[in-house]
Amino acid sequence: MDMFAGLLTLIGVVAFFLAMDARARLGRMERNLRVLQAEVQALRFQSPAPAAPEPEAEAASPPGPSPEPAPTPPHSEPPPAPPSPARPTRSLEEAIGARWAVYVGGLALALGGLLLVRYAIEQGLFGPAARVLLGLLFSAALIGAGEFLRRREKSAGETTPTPAVLTAAGTTAGFGAIYAAHALYGFISPALAFVALGAAALATLFAAVWHGPAIAGLGLAGALAAPLLVESAEPNPWPVLVYVGVVTAASYGLARLRQWTWLAISGAVGAALWGLAFAFGRLPDFPQAAELHFIAQTALACWAFALDRAGPTADPRRRLILAHAGPLGLALIAAFALAICANRGAFDGFWLLGASGLVALLALSGAARPWLAPGLLAGAGAVLAYLLALWPTETLSFDLYEAPPLLPERFQIFAGLGAVAVAGLAGHALWRRIDIPRRAATILAATAALTPLAALSIVYLRLTWMAASPPLGLVALGLAFAFLAAARIFSNRDAPGSNDRLALGLMAAATLAALALGLTFTLDRGMLTVALSLSALGAAYVESRLGVPALRQAVAALGLVIAARLAWDPRIVGDELGTTPIFNWLLFGYGAPALSFGLAAHFLGRGGPDRATRIAEALAVLFSALLVFFQIRHALHGGDPFVDDAGLVENGLYTVSALGFSLVLARLDLARTSPVLNFCSLAFGVLSALLAALALALWTNPYVDQRPVIGGRWVNSLLLGYALPGACAALVANLCRATRPLWFLRMLRLVALLLIFLYVTLETRRLFQGLWIGWNQTASATEQYAYSAVWLALGVALLAYGLLRHSLEARVASAAVIVLAVLKVFVFDLAHLVGAQRAFSFIGLGAVLIGIGLVYQKLVFRPRKTHEN
């Protein structure tokens, strides 16, 4: 009975404001009719304009001076309306004396009444009943005075804030008297106090129709706070639920009647706060009350902001914003509250009703108002995905991978029905409205495509934990056929001036996305990242064939989602990859996305470079680099690429790979002129330099970390760790000398010199020391002599290369190596070598230096011949 009575009260409030609105509309129609009657009456007194003189009469006039023209009778046009007088500016004296004095006086009256009650209590002048009665009489006197002044000013055509201030002071005093009767003296029960406070607040809210917005704010605040002022030994949320619904309906109706946008927003905020209070309540009934409360409030918000043609504001732009923000904001807060309730154990029929009601209200509101369909239907799809993601598990937690969802059958039914409803309504709205703006058509088409795809993906993740699921693969196949049928429908119509080609492109892309999902669901190593990358490829291909710009944005969005997935966890294929080099799950997990985004960048590049093309290029490079990185680790660590270890060979291969990427990307940039490829080419070159300087020269140097050299005398880890990367660095610098900046080329040549120098030095030590060449191994005199000879030989070889290639950098590198050899001979060999070895060291050095001098004299700086006359 309480619920039924509350619903009747709610209907009565709505009917009251509808009647008031009808009365206001009738008044406006009467005024417009009087204006039209006055204009018709004025037109009747207008005389027709005089006819022009006949030509024959002019010809028959006698010669001589022309007579005076007859005066033209004046037109009886009404005089122009005088301009509306400018609004007079209010002086400081008027503001203080006429307004602020009234406001402060009203506050003083309210405080005076409260202080009078306190004085009576302290002095014991009256009993408790008399105090409450006097408070109510004082409140009635102030309200009566305000109403008397309002009617008097209305008859005199005046408007001052005095009536509203007196009414506000009276309502405040009445609130205090009712609260004192309950909380201080216990004269009335909690139920009666609740009803009395609510009635006083609603009466104050209704009084705002005549007294202005300040009374409305006071009444709304008092109405929403009234339940908090009533203490009860057994709190019951259901009367409060009905009461808050009546209050918010009244605020929406008053906002619509007086075009007070702030009042409608305040009512919605208050309803949301009460709903959260219900959700966090400790008693068993509070979560269920929160669920029903949010359904009712979302329905009221849809009516107040979206379904009502007038709305709480006359500004079209503001009304459009409110029509989306009101229902969507409450729905998102409601979804959050539902998640809280479920986590606290309130997962029952009320929860399912609340979740279904939220999605249905948004979807049906969008279907009822076509101009709001894009935003509300997209919001319904987002709420559906949010609720599916936060559907509680058996352990009442939000960890998607901890346990399966509660009631998995209902979970799947909710996902299927919700996705079909939202996608169907969005597709129907797109089909029905041919002349819809392109942005709205894009939102509708994306909603129809992404909602079922997102719902199916979440169901797959929640139920299978990324394991193979042929049934869900069949569902994805059926969804692909549905998208294909929708694409064919739009293709057959293709009405001029419509968005059918846009819808066709998005439906075709959704078809490819559904097929990719089906492939992912069916394979043993299901990977959503691969499916998304294949979807991006399909969207790029369709865009290149149909020219739908929205698909480029779809590719960009998918790329950003995948980038976020990689940032969260680069390991997208799990731990069990197989032991076969190259042909393992890494090739599918990273190679398929790399190829997909590479082809997507190629297709998108046909329409010109833009953000989507650059994102696709960046992801193609990123997936290719990750593929090479993980394949190297997989091959060198027995099929386990996640071992926390990296040796000399591994870092050498990383350096070679980085140099290879730099070269390939430089060539591609030369053909495509892409800023992404240019940046990535330079970045990989810098990465190779860092690997050479830090990893190869320091961290994994066998002389420093004292690890053994792997391999034979000549073909060993030193060859792969130093010689091969050094040769590649020199080759890349030579091949890119016309396309890369000078600092980049010099950096690579320095890297090549460093690695070749380390190779010849460490290989020499390997020949003398064997596998263990760490710093703790003592070098013999012959070994020390060999270092000097090898360094001189390297210097001579660099000089020969510089002379043959006319390379100044090679000759400078030769000079640096030879200077190092000279310093070693004069500083180290002179002190540590003895006998013939020290002598031959100096003799060899001298011979080499003299030979180098002769080469420079004869070839580099050859003197010019002078010719005698």
Residue 787 near residue 840, CB atoms below 8 Å: no
Residue 294 neighbours by CB under 8 Å, 6+ apart: 275, 330, 333, 334, 337, 338, 354, 358
Amino acid identity, position 68: E
Highest mean predicted confidence (pLDDT) among 348-362, 519-533, 611-625: 611-625
**Angle of helix 470-493 relative to helix 408-432, nearest 10 degrees?**
10
Give rounded-to-5 percent helix, strand, coil for the chain: 75, 0, 25
Distance of alpha carbon 517 from alpha carbon 534, whole angstroms:
9
Q: How far is CA 10 from CA 157, 202, 242, 251, 477, in A?
A: 35, 12, 8, 12, 48
What is the longest distance spanned by two Cα atoms in the chain? Answer: 150
Residue 395 dihedral angles phi and psi, to the nearest 5° = -95, 10
Distance of alpha carbon 472 from alpha carbon 487, whole angstroms:
22
Distance of alpha carbon 822 from alpha carbon 820, whole angstroms:
5
Neighbours of 233 (CB within 10 A): 5
Over 60: is that where the pLDDT of 628 sits? yes
Question: For the segment 814-826, what is each residue's pLDDT rounded down to a tens digit?
Answer: 888 988 888 887 8
Distance of alpha carbon 456 from alpha carbon 786, whole angstroms:
70
Average pLDDT, the chain: 76
Highest mean predicted confidence (pLDDT) among 21-30, 301-310, 466-475, 586-595: 586-595
Amino acid identity, position 440: A
Residue 326 near residue 306, CB atoms below 8 Å: yes
Q: State mean pLDDT over 706-731.
A: 93
- Nearest Cα to Cα of residue 217 among 227, 207, 232, 231: 207
pLDDT score of 51: 46
Which residues, in sequence order, are bridge partners of residue 711?
716
Q: Is 381 exposed, middle or buried (0-12, 13-18, 19+ CB in 10 A)?
A: buried
3-state SS assignment for residue 405? strand
Question: For the segment 477-502, what is each residue's pLDDT rounded down to a tens digit?
Answer: 899 889 988 888 887 776 776 777 78
Residue 267 near residue 255, CB atoms below 8 Å: yes
Distance of alpha carbon 825 from alpha carbon 786, whole angstroms:
11
Highest mean predicted confidence (pLDDT) among 243-252, 629-638, 824-833: 629-638
pLDDT score of 117: 58
Question: For the segment 169-211, what is each residue's pLDDT rounded down to a tens digit?
Answer: 666 667 667 767 766 667 777 777 767 766 776 676 667 667 6
Q: How far is CA 553 from CA 183, 412, 726, in A?
A: 61, 30, 43
Neighbours of 466 (CB within 10 A): 15
- Nearest Cα to Cα of residue 99 among 167, 160, 169: 160
Lowest-confidence pick of 508-517, 631-640, 722-731: 508-517
pLDDT score of 664: 94
Residue whose entry in the numeric block shows the structure tokens 């990123």: 622
Over 80: is that where the pLDDT of 511 sits? yes
Question: What tokens appear for 144 in the block?
Answer: 């009566």
Question: What tokens appear for 37 in the block?
Answer: 């009657």
pLDDT score of 25: 59
Over 80: is that where the pLDDT of 590 sits? yes
pLDDT score of 561: 81
pLDDT score of 606: 85
Alpha helices in 637-723 (DSSP H): 648-672, 675-690, 702-705, 717-718
**Angle of helix 349-368 relative to helix 408-432, nearest 10 degrees?**
10
% of the chain at pLDDT higher than 70: 68
Question: What tokens appear for 112 in the block?
Answer: 């005076």
Distance of alpha carbon 811 from alpha carbon 581, whole angstroms:
42
Q: How far is CA 37 from CA 30, 33, 43, 82, in A?
A: 11, 6, 10, 20
Distance of alpha carbon 505 from alpha carbon 329, whole angstroms:
31
Question: For the segment 295-319, what is each residue's pLDDT rounded down to a tens digit?
Answer: 777 777 777 776 555 556 556 666 6
Q: State mean pLDDT over 457-473.
A: 82
Which residues, in sequence order, are bridge partners of residue 405?
393
Question: What tokens appear for 211 in the block?
Answer: 């007294």
For residue 396, the 8-state DSSP code is S
Q: State mean pLDDT over 789-806.
A: 88
Amino acid identity, position 576: E
Lowest-confidence pick of 39-48, 205-214, 345-354: 39-48
Lowest-confidence pick of 90-94, 660-664, 842-846: 90-94
pLDDT score of 662: 96
Angle in degrees, CA 378, 381, 382, rounded to 5: 90
Question: What tokens appear for 384 in the block?
Answer: 């559906």
Residue 450 near residue 509, CB atoms below 8 Å: no
Question: For the segment 354-387, what is each residue's pLDDT rounded down to a tens digit?
Answer: 778 778 877 887 777 777 778 888 888 888 888 8
Which residues, in sequence order, are bridge partners of residue 716?
711
Distance of alpha carbon 383 from alpha carbon 335, whole angstroms:
7
Output b/e per residue, 290-323; b: 16+ Cβ within 10 A: bbbbbbbbbbbbbbbbbbbeebbbeeeeebeebb
Q: How far is CA 403 from CA 126, 257, 352, 765, in A?
A: 67, 51, 20, 59
Residue whose entry in the numeric block shows the structure tokens 């909710």: 414
pLDDT score of 4: 41
Tell how far CA 527 is from the center of its chain: 23
- Nearest Cα to Cα of residue 390 among 341, 423, 357, 450: 341
Distance of alpha carbon 273 from alpha carbon 843, whole angstroms:
94
Amino acid identity, position 95: A
Over 90: is that where the pLDDT of 728 sits? yes
Q: Binning pLDDT at 50, 70 and 90, where does residue 61 land? A: very low
Distance of alpha carbon 561 from alpha carbon 597, whole angstroms:
13
Between 859 and 362, the more confident residue is 362
pLDDT score of 251: 74
Question: For the segment 531-566, what is each residue's pLDDT rounded down to a tens digit?
Answer: 888 888 888 888 887 777 777 878 888 888 888 878
pLDDT score of 176: 67
Residue 576 dihedral angles phi and psi, to the nearest 5° = -90, 100
Distance of alpha carbon 207 from alpha carbon 819, whole angstroms:
99
Distance of alpha carbon 751 from alpha carbon 758, whole angstroms:
11
Nearest 10 degrees: Cα torsion 346, 351, 352, 356 = -160
Which residues, in sequence order, are bridge partners of residue 706?
none
Tell how far CA 221 is from the center of its chain: 34
Distance of alpha carbon 558 from alpha carbon 532, whole angstroms:
7
Question: What tokens appear for 399 in the block?
Answer: 């960890």
Reported as type and span, the H/E element at residue 728 is helix 724-735
3-state SS assignment for residue 646? coil
Question: What tokens appear for 819 in the block?
Answer: 């200077």
Reported as type and span, the H/E element at residue 279 is helix 261-279
**Angle of helix 611-636 relative to helix 592-605, nearest 10 degrees?**
160
Between 238 and 603, the more confident residue is 603
Residue whose entry in the numeric block shows the structure tokens 């070895």: 837
pLDDT score of 655: 96
pLDDT score of 280: 76
Residue 561 near residue 619, CB atoms below 8 Å: no
Over 90: is that where the pLDDT of 742 sits? yes
Residue 110 neighbours by CB under 8 Å, 6+ apart: 168, 169, 172, 173
Residue 380 near residue 355, CB atoms below 8 Å: no
